[in-house]
Amino acid sequence: MTDFDQDDIAAMRRENGGADLKRFMRDQLRAGLRRRSMPTVAAPPPKPPGYRPGAWPSGTSPPEPRPQAHPPAAWGAALNDYRAALMTYDHTQLNSDQPCGCVTCQIAKEN
């Protein structure tokens, strides 16, 4: 961009009935819009030395699966004990022929 001062603008107003000044101002606007609309993309950071995409870093491995603290049979036994406790404490109507509509009574009815 060139430097201009008040004398240059006054000269542009006098020449061609001010058409030069209008053209100059439009060019300035276009240049500014063009600079604003161009995306500024930052360069990606460099990869570390020895980088292999998708691989674990050397000297490491993926984590091992966590061992289960309780086997599945123990979970099933605990669930059955819990259901039995629910039926004895909360449902006095289980001895009747018409159980309530809760999940525990429905499971007891099916078994």
pLDDT of residue 97: 62
Locate the domains of the chain by residue range.
6-37, 73-110
30-41: pLDDT as tens digits = 988 888 777 777
User: What's this model's pTM, rounded to 2 decimal places?
Assistant: 0.30
pLDDT of residue 77: 92
pLDDT for residue 3 is more than 60: yes
pLDDT of residue 105: 67
- What CA–CA distances, in Å, run from 108 to 49, 54, 77, 79, 85? 64, 52, 15, 13, 12
Structure-block tokens of residue 31: 């240049």
